Amino acid sequence: MAEPRIVTVTGAAGNIGYALLFRIASGQLFGPDVPVKLHLLEIPQAVKAAEGTAMELDDCAFPTLAGVEIFDDVNRAFQGTNVAYLVGAMPRRAGMERADLLEANAGIFGPQGKAINDGAADDVRVLVVGNPANTNATIAQNAAPDVPASRFTAMMRLDHNRAVAQLAHKTGAANADIKDVVVWGNHSADQYPDVSFATVAGKPATELVDEEWLSSYYRPTVAKRGAAIIEARGASSAASAANAAIDHMYSWIHGTPAGEWVTAGVMSDGTHYGVPAGLNFGFPVTSDGGEWQVVDGLEISDATRAGIDHNIKALQEEYDAVKELGFIK
Ligand code: NAD
Ligand code: LMR
């Protein structure tokens, strides 16, 4: 057996945590031969609930689970962490302005970024799930100057999976036959789901669907799916979010199949598609098992350009608001 990998999950007693932890513990992230130690971080009021989840993890007797520890101390939770899932966040409450939400979350993701900087393993990989995910990732990354910026990512994989599924439904294809959709930008209703480069069983998607369907149904359905799930379930997506969180980290660690990309929110270095450096942005990416690489050189249509620009503006506004509050230097 290999050395145990340490996976820290924040918001571990929440809905996504409950759907995510058992999949990591069962070996679905690293494989059946790699033991995993779970670090569960919660706020003090939710530690008891996290203890209940830990009891259930115990009761599964997973061969790959090498231990579970529960923390309400951010610094201890990230000691030696190889993989960090930052799930816990401050939800938007009635009457809360966007600036209030950004400020409350900056107070969570700044200290978590610093704790990762100070205590995590050299190979740490971070996925921010808690909303607003892209800007929370930017905040955490800014608090971690000693960790390569490329290790801080935000979850756009749920949007990507939604974009695959909706195209599969429309064309009657299997999900597995859909390749190279991308969701540019922000994990919010501003996002731009794009089938310009997608294929369906090897055929260009643009030969199978028309612009009228894309603009009136596809793009708004994918972009507003989170809100539709909340409306239907009375709660935010949890199992599909946990599934995407596994998919994202699995692709990063094990690599993407040759010639295929996925969508991830990665820190822009200013050299791709006109996205300013310092923003966390949904791009088409591949992984060779080490770092994410943005897929460059795609021929961008006027419509996609407008979609990318709209997202640059939205994310720049979030960035500026957080900077004004003093959370980004
Ligand atoms: P939830 O309310 O069920 O659970 C959140 C948990 O986080 C709670 O147990 C809470 O105690 C904990 N928490 C709050 N502050 C914390 C802190 N400072 N440290 C550690 N834990 C803390 O929420 P959920 O359904 O699990 O969703 C979590 C987040 O994920 C939300 O922000 C949600 O909007 C977001 N989300 C993102 C995506 C995506 O695709 N990026 C998809 C679905 C949900
Ligand atoms: C989702 O896309 O399902 C969530 O981000 C929605 C939300 O606001 O929690």
Give the domains, in start order, of the chain with CATH numbers: 5-154 (3.40.50.720), 156-319 (3.90.110.10)
Give me ligand 1 centre to Cα 169, in Å.
30
Question: Which of 107, 85, 105, 106 lies closest to 39 in space, CA to CA?
Answer: 85
Best residue among 230, 231, 240 to mutate for probing ligand 2's pocket (most ligand atoms within 8 Å of CB) is: 230
Q: Taking the complete model, does pTM exceed 0.95, yes or no?
A: yes
pLDDT at 259: 92
Average pLDDT over residues 170-199: 98
Give the model's confidence band at 105: pLDDT under 50 very low, under 70 low, under 90 confident, else very high: very high
Partnered with residue 5 across adjacent β-strands are: 36
Catalytic residue among 187, 248, 254, 272: 187
Whether the per-residue pLDDT at 98 is higher than 80: the answer is: no
CA atoms of 222 and 201, how far apart (whole Å): 21
Tell me which H or E stretch contains 286: strand 280-287
- ipTM of the assembly? 0.99
pLDDT tens digits, one per residue of 134-148 = 999 999 999 999 999
Give me ligand 1 centre to Cα 317, in Å.
23
pLDDT at 96: 77
pLDDT at 90: 86
Pick 329 or 16 by higher pLDDT: 16
Q: At what angle do helices 157-171 and 225-233 cross, to 10 degrees?
A: 90
pLDDT tens digits, one per residue of 272-325 = 999 999 999 999 999 999 999 999 999 999 999 999 999 999 999 999 999 998
Partnered with residue 263 across adjacent β-strands are: 284
Active site residue 187: yes
Give me ligand 2 centre to Cα 61, in Å.
32
Give the model's confidence band at 125: pLDDT under 50 very low, under 70 low, under 90 confident, else very high: very high
Partnered with residue 179 across adjacent β-strands are: 199
pLDDT tens digits, one per residue of 196-240 = 999 999 999 999 999 999 999 999 999 999 999 999 999 999 999
pLDDT at 91: 78
Nearest Cα residue to atom 25 of ligand 1: 15
Ligand 1, closest atom to CA 133?
41
CA atoms of 154 and 22, how far apart (whole Å): 21
pLDDT at 77: 98
Q: Starting from the CA of residue 21, give the closest ligand.
A: 1
- CB neighbour burial string for 5-23, b if at least 16 within 10 angstroms, e if fewer: bbbbbbbbbbbbbbbbbbe
pLDDT tens digits, one per residue of 24-58 = 999 999 999 999 999 999 999 999 999 999 999 99
Please report, as a single letter, which amino acid is at residue 87.
Answer: V
Average pLDDT over residues 113-126: 98
Average pLDDT over residues 245-264: 97
| E-strand stretches of 101-171 | 125-128, 152-154
pLDDT tens digits, one per residue of 68-88 = 999 999 999 999 999 999 999
